[in-house]
């Protein structure tokens, strides 16, 4: 009679099968998707497309159908684009006594490159047949150049890299702290604003 | 002496499978956390290019997706091999991009309508002509925030 007192053990052998079924269901319906990318702001559709820009303040980048890169009339390997863009933005070519003189620029202050990071405009023209992958690489290098400069100034002013600031901003922090970081980010962005225009594609 | 009763040979103790469900559940939770649900099945090939200066796309409810690429093999006989645009679950023409964005925007709550990002998931073999057309359409409907969705990696790998 003592046998009746013991509750019969539930057979857990099929539990694994159930769990496997669930697992397979998730494997089938889910996919490891990337959700990273290059953030860009497209230029506003302008009603007045004629704005006077000094030639020295414009860096013209062209990509042709054979995926070659042309910067200011010369063919340039992609590897050198980043340094080229940095030297263009960071040039600070105005005279020391000018009111818009760029005090934080560390460039070579050449006469044919930009006057001030605020004035520096980068234009990308692509042929209809250029590869999207190549275009992304070019965008990547330009953003890389801006990040490099922003990191430099951010480290100098606040002792922390710009990218770390942006990362910290996204985290869970108090509102006062958030405001402080926001102020810093905006200050750095104002020093090196991204001005990238993309004129209409050249039809071939 | 019966005290040292000889064990029957061939009578191995059964391996306990009681912890097997735990292991499988662990796997299950791992997959549940690292993967995301597919919201639309892809009709186009979608091998994204690489980039290193990437930012994470946060807050999925603020993103509108546009896929571009060659149709996958099963659709190639009907749609050819030229890169096409996929909006939601069907192929679309460039001219439909504007209305699609406006329709998607109208579906979102009021407070998010100004902070939407358009994620361009474009195959690396697509050409720029189509992309510039899309960008032109995006500018027309004032959807200026775009994200070129990429894999994280070395941008120079794109050149091969």
Do residue A37 and residue B150 have CB atoms under 8 angstroms apart? yes
Residues of A in contact with B155 (CB under 8 A): 136-137, 140-141
Q: Does residue A89 register a pLDDT over 60?
A: yes
| Whole-prediction pTM | 0.78
Residues of B in contact with A15 (CB under 8 A): 20-21
Strands (E) across chain A are located at: 30-31, 36-41, 58-63, 69-71, 74-75, 121-126, 196-197
Closest CA of chain A from B18, distance in Å: 7
- Given the cut 0.90, state whether the ipTM is greater than it: no
Residue B86 parent element (H or E): strand B84-87
Q: Give the closest of B25, B152, B156 to A36, CB-based.
A: B152
Task: For an interface test with B, give the residue of A22, A64, A140 to mutate (most B CBs within 10 A).
Answer: A140
Contact B158, B49 (CB under 8 A): yes
Closest CA of chain B from A114, distance in Å: 24
Residues of A in contact with B20 (CB under 8 A): 15-16
Please state, in angstroms and rounded to a whole number, the distance separating the CA atoms of residues B154 and B49. Answer: 9
pLDDT tens digits, A118-150: 888 888 888 888 888 888 888 899 999 998 888
| Nearest residue on chain A to B63, alpha-carbon basis | A35
Do residue B128 and residue A127 have CB atoms under 8 angstroms apart? yes
**In Å, how far are A36, A134, B91, B155 from B51, measured between CA atoms?**
9, 10, 27, 5
B109 Cβ neighbours under 8 A, 6+ residues apart: none
Closest CA of chain B from A130, distance in Å: 5
Do residue A130 and residue B32 have CB atoms under 8 angstroms apart? no
- What is the pLDDT tens value at each position of chain B, 160 positions in all? 557 766 666 677 777 777 888 888 888 888 878 776 666 677 888 888 888 888 887 777 788 888 998 888 888 888 888 888 988 888 888 888 889 999 988 988 888 888 888 888 898 888 888 888 888 888 888 888 899 988 888 878 777 6
Q: Give the closest of A30, A143, A144 to B31, CB-based.
A: A30
pLDDT tens digits, B85-125: 988 888 888 888 889 999 988 988 888 888 888 888 898 88
Closest CA of chain B from A99, distance in Å: 33
Do residue B138 and residue A201 have CB atoms under 8 angstroms apart? no
Query: By C-alpha distance, which of A182, A52, A66 is closest to A127?
Result: A66
């Amino acid at each position: 009679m003592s046998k009746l007192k013991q509750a019969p053990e539930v057979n857990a052998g099929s539990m694994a099968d159930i769990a496997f079924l669930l697992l397979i269901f998730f494997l089938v319906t889910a996919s490891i998707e990337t959700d990273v990318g290059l953030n860009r702001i497209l230029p506003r559709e302008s009603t007045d497309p004629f704005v006077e820009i000094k030639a020295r303040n414009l860096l013209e980048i062209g990509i042709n159908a054979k995926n070659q890169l042309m910067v200011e009339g010369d063919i340039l390997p992609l590897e050198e684009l980043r340094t080229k863009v940095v030297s263009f933005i960071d040039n600070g070519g105005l005279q020391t006594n000018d009111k818009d003189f760029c005090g934080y620029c560390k460039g070579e202050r050449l006469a044919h490159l930009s006057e001030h990071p605020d004035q520096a405009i980068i234009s990308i023209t692509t042929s209809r047949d250029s590869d999207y992958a190549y275009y992304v690489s070019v965008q990547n290098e330009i953003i890389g150049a801006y990040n490099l400069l922003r990191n430099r100034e951010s480290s100098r002013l606040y002792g922390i890299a710009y990218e770390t600031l942006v990362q910290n901003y996204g985290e869970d922090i108090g509102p006062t702290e958030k405001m402080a970081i926001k102020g810093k980010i905006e200050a750095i962005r104002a020093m090196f604003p991204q001005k990238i225009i993309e004129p209409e594609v050249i039809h071939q | 002496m019966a005290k040292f009763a000889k064990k029957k040979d061939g009578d191995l103790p059964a391996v306990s499978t009681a912890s097997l469900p735990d292991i499988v559940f662990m796997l299950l939770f791992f997959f549940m956390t690292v993967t995301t649900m597919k919201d639309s099945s892809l009709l186009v090939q979608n091998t994204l290019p690489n980039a290193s200066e990437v930012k994470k796309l946060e807050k999925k409810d603020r993103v509108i997706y546009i896929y571009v690429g060659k149709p996958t093999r099963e659709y190639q006989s009907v749609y050819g091999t030229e890169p096409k645009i996929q909006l939601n679950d069907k192929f679309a023409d460039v001219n439909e991009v504007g209305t699609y964005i406006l329709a998607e925007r109208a579906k979102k709550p009021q407070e998010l309508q100004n902070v939407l990002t358009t994620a361009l998931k474009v195959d690396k073999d697509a050409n720029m002509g189509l992309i510039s057309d899309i960008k032109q359409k995006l500018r027309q409907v004032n959807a200026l925030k775009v994200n070129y969705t990429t894999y994280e990696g070395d941008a120079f790998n794109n050149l091969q």
